[in-house]
Chains A and B, each alone.
Chain A
């Protein structure tokens, strides 16, 4: 008997070998199924819902994926041999209930059990997103989720610029830029999506050029349109997150009401001079996240409204607020951490201070408390002197 066979016989006496069908049943009951084959092997197919963790990284990364050492773990490889060695390693590491799938993936397939082909990153994607892939909170699964995500950005201006740049860099698969302006030289003090060489272009086209230069592997949809009640659902539908970087109150109310109807979260940001506001509205289970109207039920009448004349803003201010908006967007897409919902972050650039106020759900909110969806209508442009 070879050394290997002697060792395997000894392992078989201690490690439970579970037939594929029984392993599948246990997986559905909560056991963690870990495919320990190499990436090249799993690329052609792997048990549906399995964690794919090549054996060479098993001990290094398993704790991030399975922090509870009491949770039953089932390991699977190609034929049921490597998984026995790996099971022994996990037991040594402290996992209490570890089994090996008898016959491995061959037996799994032969039994007609569910298989999925994991979306694979190519070599250039692996290089591009390496700093994401090495983070357990993102990893390959999270990067795939980003690549499959769709985000609409309202406004390709001050706030839209940094948000779009960081989301493109992060690999958000489809970005829809919505804006009906052209690039002017006075934009360039803060709107870093645009450039002197693209003065006069539609902002969405200029933005598309910049974003694809940064990351040519994503899709950028340019919507040269002004959001109105008649087109808002078409423009925003089908997105996972809407980023509101618009420059006027009527659009903000309309976007809020439309996104409540669509069930899509809005990452909100607004700026003026040295001051900024950021929050996340809607998108959660009904009545669990406030909406913009829970914070500001109605816009001010014209005589009290912010001036429509171009508002002064410190050029870097949209960078401060926009990058927080981008971070909140990525968190929402990946389901990470606590979204900035139910609270509004206030930034005072002159004092260098962040403050936070509570924004609870308003049970009487005209938009999000009713059973019927809010009526979508265009508000008159409100302009102060």
Chain B
């Protein structure tokens, strides 16, 4: 278990009280996101399908890498890891 920083994109910050990032204890990507969404059903619904898979239009990065390419939600978190949640921005 390590402390992982989760950076949130602007469109989703309203779900976590306007914060731009939070720190949670977790061993895997899935655990970190579970802690993030615990008690925040609308955020959970935004990030995950009913089957518990990350939605296709939500990307999560461990460091620089899309977690889908490095083990998905099972990917282990190194000490001091940073997760970045990202969604498309439309504005120009």
Contact = CB atoms under 8 A, between A and B. Distances in A.
Interface of A: 155, 157-160, 244-249, 252, 269-277, 295-300, 304-306, 311, 313, 318, 343, 346, 348, 350-351, 355-358, 360
A33 B39 CA distance: 72
A348 B69 contact: no
A272 B69 contact: no
Interface string B50-78: 00000111010100111001000000000
Contact of B11 (A248, A249, A306, A343): A306
Nearest to B46: A304
B66 to A, nearest CB: 7
B80 to A, nearest CB: 15
Contacts of B88: 249, 252, 270, 296, 299-300, 306
B92 A358 contact: no
A247 B64 contact: no
A295 B64 contact: no
Q: Closest 7 A-B residue pairs measured CB to CB?
A: A270-B89, A300-B57, A245-B92, A247-B92, A275-B10, A358-B64, A159-B92
Contact count band on B = 20 to 34
Contact of B20 (A248, A313, A350): A350
A269 B55 CA distance: 23
B81 to A, nearest CB: 14
A358 B65 contact: yes
Contact of B92 (A155, A355, A356, A357): A155
B90 A297 contact: no
A348 B20 contact: yes
A300 B87 contact: yes
B92 A318 contact: yes
Contact of A356 (B9, B57, B64): B64
A305 B58 CA distance: 11
A249 B90 contact: yes
